[in-house]
Amino acid sequence: MNLDLTAQDVEFRNEVRAFLDKNLTPDLAAAGRLATSVFIEPEFTLPWQRILHARGWVAPHWPKEYGGTGWDEMQRYIFASECARAGAPGLSPMGLGMVGPCIIGYGTPEQKAHYLPRILSGEDYWCQGYSEPGSGSDLASLQLKAESDSDDYVLNGTKIWTTHAHHANKMFCLVRTDPAAKPQMGITFLLLDMKTPGIKVDPIITLAGEHELNQVFFDDVRVPKSGRLGAENDGWSVAKYLLEFERGGGSSAGLEAVLARLQKHVHSDSNSDMALVRRIGELSMRLEAIKTTEQRILSDLTSGQPPGPAGSMLKIQRTELMQAIDEAGVSSLGAHAAPYQPDAWQPGANAPILGPEALVTGMARYLNNRAGSIYGGSNEVQRNIMAKAVLGL
């Protein structure tokens, strides 16, 4: 396949660059560059989301009729890559990348009309209630109980590792509606309001010292049945559909931008360790292989379709490359990376090759991104999925 830019692609890239020059304020760009996680605080992402929404560019992967851009895969890559290069803060994937496409696939006309515009505008900020203390890889064993009571379900139980639940006003959630059925058969997919009485959100602070994760408790929480996505007890089909977007959606454009910054600084320092220079060269080749695979898989899909089990392959490749880039980044900082005390660094004194920004983000990114091979379903489990669903073993 041809990865060269056509004249139209170059014209499109120039249009995106001009838009970014005009609209990406220094504050927003700094928030993007200083990000240590896929999840950036909504105080930065939501203003950027509103700017993109006003331009009609907030949901490149959605079908045009629901607010997508109608771009082809190359244009989507150019857009993602230019945004990452300029340091635009990545938007939360929960609404636009995960539940939005699922509502497009499974929602009633009323649900589509209600939720989709609010996801595009950022009015609704979503979190994902899948995992429970006893159910992660073995997700079908989940226990959060939902009992039918006239027009409502009444929820009791808990969800854990719920990213940004403390910011979200909505949750998409898997609940057990039939405890007697086989595990996969008794699950229902609900859309609920985080302000509903009986919901309590407790913080979990990560190794990097950040508050991203939470445990959410449900005590007699009433959720209207109009919030059910798909049929009762068929939530497993909806859940798997969503996971394909979670694992295979997005692109490696963000990794490309981080690697390019690392490469530039390592190459510009005459004292750079040759082993590190070689390692970065190898990482660039891995990135090119992933980009080609993304183009090959995603260009076959019509906008709005899930990538299927190939999403598991992309998830493994991207997260393992992300962790390798972070390791190289931390190596390049040497002793400066070890104690996480960016305030101690004085400009001009022993300036590490990556500059002060890397001191703030290097170790925190490294620690935070260790979770990349766990979240979204661990990489071991993705290998099992590929063995079964792709290789037929």
Ligand X SMILES: Cc1cc2nc3c(=O)[nH]c(=O)nc-3n(C[C@H](O)[C@H](O)[C@H](O)COP(=O)(O)OP(=O)(O)OC[C@H]3O[C@@H](n4cnc5c(N)ncnc54)[C@H](O)[C@@H]3O)c2cc1C
User: Active-site residue numbers?
Assistant: 246
Read off the DSSP letter of residue 96. I
Task: Indicate whether 140 belongs to the interface with ligand X (CB under 6 A).
Answer: no
127 versus 255: smaller Cβ distance to ligand X:
127
Task: Indicate whether 236 belongs to the interface with ligand X (CB under 6 A).
Answer: no
Q: What 3-state class would DSSP assign to 235?
A: helix
Task: Indicate whether 136 belongs to the interface with ligand X (CB under 6 A).
Answer: yes
Residue 167 phi/psi, 5° resolution? -100, -25
String of contacts with ligand X for each residue 143-162, x by CB under 6 A: ------------------xx
Query: How many CA atoms, within 13 angstroms, populate the side-chain half-sphere of residue 259?
Result: 24
Binding test (CB under 6 A) with ligand X, winner from 256, 377, 385, 386: 377
23 burial (CB, 10 Å; 0-12 / 13-18 / 19+) is middle
Binding test (CB under 6 A) with ligand X, winner from 111, 263, 331, 378: 378
d(CA 77, CA 3): 11
Task: Indicate whether 93 belongs to the interface with ligand X (CB under 6 A).
Answer: no
Task: Indicate whether 381 belongs to the interface with ligand X (CB under 6 A).
Answer: yes
Residue sitting closest to ligand X (CB): 136
d(CA 246, CA 109): 23
Task: Indicate whether 131 belongs to the interface with ligand X (CB under 6 A).
Answer: yes
Cα–Cα distances in Å, from 69 out to 23, 58, 97, 180, 292?
18, 8, 14, 45, 22
Task: Indicate whether 293 belongs to the interface with ligand X (CB under 6 A).
Answer: no
Task: Indicate whether 375 belongs to the interface with ligand X (CB under 6 A).
Answer: yes
131 versus 251: smaller Cβ distance to ligand X:
131
293 versus 384: smaller Cβ distance to ligand X:
384
Report the nearest approach of ligand X to the CB of residue 159 (Å): 6
Report the nearest approach of ligand X to the CB of residue 131 (Å): 3
Read off the DSSP letter of residue 223. E
Pull the structure tokens for residue 235: 């939530």
Residue 359 phi/psi, 5° resolution? -65, -35
Which helix (H) or strand (E) element contains residue 115?
helix 109-121
Q: What is the CA radius of gyration of the chain?
A: 21
Report the nearest approach of ligand X to the CB of residue 119 (Å): 16
What residues between 197 and 216 interact with ligand X by CB under 6 A? 213
Task: Indicate whether 252 belongs to the interface with ligand X (CB under 6 A).
Answer: no
Q: What 3-state class would DSSP assign to 27?
A: helix
Residue 191's DSSP bridge partners are 172
What residues between 344 and 373 interact with ligand X by CB under 6 A? 371
Task: Indicate whether 185 belongs to the interface with ligand X (CB under 6 A).
Answer: no
Report the nearest approach of ligand X to the CB of residue 255 (Å): 17
Q: Of 261, 323, 255, give the one whose Cα is nearest residue 289.
A: 255
Binding test (CB under 6 A) with ligand X, winner from 45, 69, 128, 303: 128
Chain residues that interact with ligand X, rule: CB under 6 A: 127-131, 136-137, 161-163, 213, 371, 374-375, 377-378, 380-381, 384
